[in-house]
Structure 1
Amino acid sequence: MLAIGSDHGGYALKEEIKKYLDSKQIAYEDFGTLTGESCDYPDIANAACQAIVSGRCDRGILICGTGIGISMAANKVKGIRAACCSDYFSAKYTRLHNDANVLCMGGRVVGPGLATELVEVFLHTEFEGGRHQRRIDKITAIEAAQ
């Protein structure tokens, strides 16, 4: 199960991504916003990320105007490794090397065609492990020390 969410700045792109997920029969839970009305991205990020760390969802896609604010909020949740991506290479390698569990995008930065490509590579790229696991372990240790 995929967690998906956006604030008002990412709402239109989130709706386009949901159409793509539906066409691929990829299950998701929408954590809002459910309208284009103004709302606060930290609330959406926290709700979606709590579902991921609890095991209810496997990974997440979060969208705000730039992707930056919502990724900052997501990364405050222990166990989340969110990456703001606007290109294919970054979306692929954040899975391969960083084992990112949340893809963040900017609704005012990334168009729907590119967004679906980023979602596709993010969902279908597995963590490479090996030498990269040592680095993930170090990130986890930093997080645990807080």
Structure 2
Amino acid sequence: MAGGVSRLITAEVVLEAHRTGRSLARDSSTRITDEARDLAARLGVAIGSPAPELPGETPVRGGDTRVQVVIGSDHGGYELKSALKIVLTKAGYTLKDVGCQGAAAVDYPDFAREVASCVARGDAARGVMIDTIGVASAMVCNRVAGCRAAACESMTSALSSRRHNNANILTLGASLHTVEQAAAMLLAWLGEAYEGGRHQRRVDKIMALDSRTRPR
């Protein structure tokens, strides 16, 4: 159950949300203390956005065929992916699941490439790929032109990947997080804006290294 939009989220607000089983909504004017972020990650309290428009991206409008989030996994990440799909749907995000569709062994490059290709083509605003650790899928996604995938193990790294690096794909390791931890990280990542400014020239240098052709 989600509460109203909080203008300032402190550790006390997070504790109360945990006690009552609520998630915390936020908008562009909401401030969150570092202590609150860390506590929310530990307790599995989701800090999301009341309107799932992705900062810095064109929001999905009526009649727009673009999905907001494309999600994929290999067999090691299938169970966590299934749980996160429920979380994202309840939060109001439009999803595209590119597989896999069960626990039978598959090869992560096939599904990581599908996630990355959807993002690179503009079919999705953001991508999420889940395997056992998260690193391998990030390696695949970053081979696709136009993708900036971040393998994140903490709330701090997830938020930094958005603020400073304009990451458009998040890769997660199913063996590293509970559902609650992964959900909190993912919702925070989706709701975090890219700061631009001094970071833009660095992102430009990253993208200048990429001479490959975007998928068609």
TM range (shorter): over 0.9
Compared CA separation, residues 116 and 145, structure 1 to 2 (3 A)? closer
- Is the 8 Å Cα contact of residues 166 and 194 (structure 2) preserved in structure 1? yes
Matched, 1:125 2:192: yes
Aligned-partner SS, 2:171 = strand
Spell out structure 1 runs of 4+ moving beyond 4 A. none
Q: Which has the higher contact order (CA 8 A, sep 6+)?
A: 1
Match of 1:21 among 88, 107, 115: 88
State the 1:4 CA deviation.
0.2
The residue that corresponds to 1:94 in the other structure is 161
Aligned-partner SS, 2:150 = strand
Query: Distance in 1 between the 2:147 and 2:95 partners?
Result: 18
Structure with the bigger percentage of helix: 1
Q: Normalized against structure 1, the TM-score is what?
A: 0.97
The residue that corresponds to 2:177 in the other structure is 110
Aligned-partner SS, 1:66 = coil
Structure (1 or 2) with the larger CA radius of gyration? 2
Give unmatched runs, 5+ long, in structure 2. 1-67
Aligned-partner SS, 2:75 = coil
The residue that corresponds to 1:56 in the other structure is 123
Query: Distance in 1 between the 2:156 and 2:136 partners?
Result: 21
The residue that corresponds to 1:41 in the other structure is 108
Give unmatched runs, 5+ long, in structure 1. none
Aligned-partner SS, 1:100 = coil
- The residue type paired with residue 91 of structure 2 is K
Equivalent runs, 1:133-144 vs 2, <5 Å: 133-144=200-211
Query: Distance in 1 between the 2:174 and 2:212 partners?
Result: 34
What is the aligned-residue identity percentage? 38
State the 1:25 CA deviation.
1.7
CA RMSD between the two structures: 1.2
Q: Normalized against structure 2, the TM-score is what?
A: 0.66
